[in-house]
């Protein structure tokens, strides 16, 4: 079932550039900020892991499709725009070729940043580098494990000269994670609840057994060779409690990193909570300290502009670029 035209119009207004039948690219705030400040300001991925913000391509291979309807998610949902579509399936026979997606996503990325070429605030060298992205963040919108050729997509980005590829998943397809080949440079799993009751209330799974599926994914992480991250997107009224519960999930997964981060009232998330209900960075820092005490992980860095703290069992994060 193709995405309804009403939804495509919503994404177009939000600055998405469509790629093929089910993928899209969008430049984030930090790409623009990095370009206009000569690289001085950048996102947490550069700060923590050395991934240059201005050379990051952010994309999704599963636009409009997800297995959860999280309260804090910024994407448009059927109830938000009054239009229904199949959110949970992308048949293999309808899946675009990975090489086509990669090549078209690079072209879309270049179109998206083309206006910066004439901006006097942007150093010419930095702009030319930005036109040749070396990092792919498969995390923009939707659930990437619903794209049935995800491992091939990772391989295609590497084959096109990308140095790093991140995947962000909600963990409800442990079968896909188990079969990922090749693995990404780093795998994020969104773990936005310390227990099943909070999970159902905050993440609102659209399939049965969501919590069980997530636990299966966490158990798999220790078998992966790439660095793994538990991402806690936190909202004070809903899931920002029980650091001991989050610590138990860290023990189950033996993840390389934990990233508690403030949920942002942006996009369609503004329909569900306002700016005054968000956590400040100081709140995230205090929660991270409690999580460190409960888990044995240590705080190794933080990025206040992104309201995120990095915890790890390592002394310092691995620089990937």
Q: How confident is the model over 132-151, as a mean pLDDT?
A: 96
Report yes or no: 246 and 191 within 8 Å, Cβ to Cβ: yes
Q: Which has more pLDDT, 79 or 59?
A: 59
How far apart are alpha carbons 141 and 244 in whole angstroms? 30
Tell me: pLDDT of 288 over 80: yes
Element (H, E) at 24: strand 23-25
Contacts of 123 (CB under 8 A, 6+ apart): 38, 39
**Would you say how long the chain is, in residues?**
321
Contacts of 147 (CB under 8 A, 6+ apart): 22, 61, 62, 90, 95, 153
Per DSSP, the three-state class of 80 is helix
Percent of the chain's residues with pLDDT above 70: 100
pLDDT digits (tens, 9 = 90+) for 174-219: 999 999 999 999 999 999 999 999 999 999 999 999 999 999 999 9
Residue 3: what pLDDT? 86
Tell me the β-bridge partners of 260.
Answer: 232
Tell me: pLDDT of 84 over 70: yes
Tell me: pLDDT of 1 over 70: no
Q: How confident is the model over 27-49, as a mean pLDDT?
A: 96
Asked if residue 182 has a cis previous peptide bond (ω within 30° of 0), the answer is: yes
Residue 76: what pLDDT? 87
Report yes or no: 70 and 202 within 8 Å, Cβ to Cβ: yes
How far apart are alpha carbons 237 and 278 in whole angstroms? 9
Which residue, 189, 211, 202, is CA-closest to 269?
202
Domains of the chain: 5-312 (3.20.20.70)
Contacts of 34 (CB under 8 A, 6+ apart): 40, 41, 42, 43, 46, 52, 53, 54, 126
Q: How confident is the model over 11-30, as a mean pLDDT?
A: 95
pTM for the model: 0.97
How many CA atoms does the CB half-sphere of 26 hold within 13 Å?
A: 17
Tell me: pLDDT of 73 over 80: yes
DSSP 8-state class, residue 97: P
């Amino acid at each position: 079932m193709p995405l309804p035209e009403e939804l495509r119009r919503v994404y177009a207004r939000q600055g998405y550039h469509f790629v093929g039948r089910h993928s899209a690219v969008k430049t984030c705030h930090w790409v623009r900020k990095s370009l206009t400040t000569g690289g001085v300001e950048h996102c947490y991925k550069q700060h923590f892991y050395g991934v240059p913000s201005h050379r990051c391509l952010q994309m999704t291979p599963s636009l409009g499709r997800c297995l959860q309807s999280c309260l804090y998610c910024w994407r448009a949902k059927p109830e938000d725009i009054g239009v229904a579509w199949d959110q949970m399936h992308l048949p293999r026979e309808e899946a675009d070729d990975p090489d086509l997606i990669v090549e078209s996503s690079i072209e879309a990325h270049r179109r998206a940043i083309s206006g910066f070429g004439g901006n006097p605030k942007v150093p010419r060298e930095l702009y030319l580098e930005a036109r040749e992205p070396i990092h792919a963040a498969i995390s923009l919108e939707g659930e990437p494990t619903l794209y049935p050729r995800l491992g091939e997509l990772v391989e295609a980005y590497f084959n096109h000269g990308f140095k790093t590829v991140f995947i962000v998943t909600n963990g409800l397809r442990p079968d896909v994670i188990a079969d990922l080949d090749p693995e990404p440079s780093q795998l994020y799993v969104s773990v936005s609840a310390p227990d099943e009751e909070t999970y159902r209330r905050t993440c609102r799974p659209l399939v049965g057994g969501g919590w069980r599926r997530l636990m299966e994914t966490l158990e798999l992480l220790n078998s992966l060779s790439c660095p793994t991250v538990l991402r806690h997107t936190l909202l004070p009224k809903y899931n920002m409690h029980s650091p001991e519960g989050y610590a138990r999930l860290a023990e189950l997964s033996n993840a390389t990193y934990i990233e508690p981060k403030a949920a942002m009232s942006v996009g369609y998330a503004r329909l569900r909570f306002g700016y005054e209900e968000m956590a400040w960075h100081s709140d995230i820092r205090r929660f991270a300290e409690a999580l460190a005490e409960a888990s044995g992980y240590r705080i190794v860095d933080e990025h206040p502009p992104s309201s995120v703290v990095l915890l790890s069992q390592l002394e310092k994060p691995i620089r990937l670029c």
